[in-house]
Amino acid sequence: MTGIRVRAHHGVFDFEREQGQEFVIDVSVAVDLAAAASGDDLGRTVHYGDLAVAVAEAVERDPVDLIETVAERVAAVALGFDGVEEASVTVHKPQAPIDVPFDDVAVTVVRSRA
């Protein structure tokens, strides 16, 4: 999934914590899809609607300083879904307080069960 938009209050500056800003989350999970595909069975794969809600809830809660921390939190949530062996999470902070023009600030983590 790409482009999950969440308003949250992460950041090192007081105004970021007070006003909040939009964060954009991309999540990719590695799942063996053979059983789900062969049986056309949603119960044998990850329901992307449930994953999207869990990701949004993880980003919204407990403000932290770093988007790195947010990325780790989201990866842990994704790995909590049955069948997910690996999660790649990118957290974008497009309104980061930077004094020069920029398109995006983002961090990516890749985590696995191993």
Q: Which residues are catalytic?
A: 93
Q: Which residue has the tokens 């500056």?
A: 13
The beta strands (E) that lie in the chain are given as: 4-8, 21-31, 84-92, 106-112
Q: How far apart (Å, rounded) are the C-alpha atoms in residues 8 and 56?
A: 9
Nearest CA among 98, 3, 11 for reference residue 63? 11
